[in-house]
Amino acid sequence: MELPRSFEGASALPVEAVPTAVRAAALASRGSGEPVGGYLYDLSAAQERAARLVRALPPQVKVCYAVKANSFAPLLGALAEVVHGFEVASVAEARLASAAAAKAGVPPRLVVSGPAKNPTMLAGLVGPDLPDDAVAVNVESVLELHRLSRAAVAAGRHAPGREVPVALRVNPLRSPVEISRATGLTMGGLPSPFGIPEAEIPAAIRALGSLPGVRFLGFHLHAVSGNMDADLHVDYVRGAVEWAVRTADEHGLRLRTIDVGGGLGIPFEPGPEFDVEAFGAALAAMRLPEDVELILEPGRWMAGPVGWYATEVVDVKRSYGEVFVIVRGGINHFQLPTSWEIRHNFAVLPVDDWPVGLPRPAAERAVVTASGELCTPEDVLARDVTVDSVRAGDLLIFPNAGAYGFEFAMPAFLGQPPAWRTALIRPDGQAPRPRPASRVDDLADFR
């Protein structure tokens, strides 16, 4: 594991970069007996971002939020009122998404992805808990297709009209567009556990046509992640659509959906954002085939900017010419900067009160490294950041932490308390107190 990229002495964010409501909620989370360490989410901002994306896209494009980016149940409940459905990768995510849809009073619509769908998982996804038309499965191999067929038959889904709809996930021979200058991660045209190699698609189509309990719906081509260039993303979608239409025609298939995955990036450093309005306008001009839905599975773009990770400074230490700001949490709470080797900046939120009689180490106009509480030198959140002032007891707040934060961490290592999660505002207008985190949160406090 590599450490996050060095800031090379660049300044921390000004505290004004953190919204007032976030600062207030972070300060209000103190006093529990534990140092601060958790996530704050703005549900209204999440709805606004989702609505902005949906409005920008033509009606044929359906937005299914990727639950893996952030599975916090109150966030899913807020998004369910705006998006068309959810992309899930486990039975647990499917249940969370279904509960969110039920609370929002909308029919559940789930698109299932993932390279290792085992028989137990498939049986749980096509069982009696969800309506027949609620789940579509992006199948990743011929073996998975056979397993899905068996699960569907066992669930009584082999009668005409009740079959499980299937999109074949394709690993294309070539990525539909060269996007290496816009993103650091491509997921097509390379050796990969994801998808069916393009040369094997004809065999998969034949298997799909011969098996009971499943029916062809379309193709899934998720070949890019973290793209910041809307024009290149339009080219990518255009290439995916052309490939799907051509392949369906060659095999005499009725094409109903083309799933192009997510891949809409957010900036972690100053720079232009992904232009969703230009992207939507270009898709509207593309003239998608009639009766074919284009499915997008955004996660990071929707959830990333509406979450903040707040962590308390436990100590400030000098060691052979360097300054370390040691915080509650670290990669057991927020592994994203280290896993992705990115520069993820923070702001210092001063806290004035401090126990009488205790020394309070501090650093002024210093270049610091923010490290966590784990017994490993890899537990680093940010390196070589210049701060005006930081003291033990102050809070560090990391913006853009709403996606791949809580879910992407390693909470079991050393058995330290997990990060808590909370929404900024409840429907009754009161700021909630953080509560102990669990992997499956319920909606009880937000009814």
Asked whether the predicted pLDDT for residue 431 surpasses 70, the reply is: no
pLDDT of residue 269: 86
pLDDT of residue 152: 96
Close Cβ partners of 262 (under 8 Å, ≥ 6 residues apart): 66, 87, 222, 225, 296, 297, 298, 299, 300, 301
pLDDT over 60 (residue 407): yes
Amino acid of residue 350: P
DSSP state of 356: T
Check pLDDT > 70 for residue 182: no
361 vs 195, residue with greater confidence = 361
Confidence of residue 249 (pLDDT cuts 50, 70, 90): very high
Mean pLDDT of the chain: 90
Average pLDDT over residues 223-246: 90
Statement: residue 439 has pLDDT above 70: no
pLDDT one-digit tens code per residue, 101-151: 999 999 999 999 999 999 999 999 998 878 778 999 999 999 999 999 999
pLDDT at 437: 39
Q: What is the structure's pLDDT at 189?
A: 60
Q: With 60 as the cut, is the pLDDT of residue 332 above it?
A: yes
**Structural domains of the chain ordered from first start:** 15-41+307-446 (2.40.37.10), 43-304 (3.20.20.10)
Can you tell me the distance from the alpha carbon of 123 to that of 364, in angstroms, rounded to the nearest whole number? 58
Q: What is the pLDDT of residue 123?
A: 95
Tell me which residue of 112, 146, 37 sits closest to 411, measured CA to CA.
37
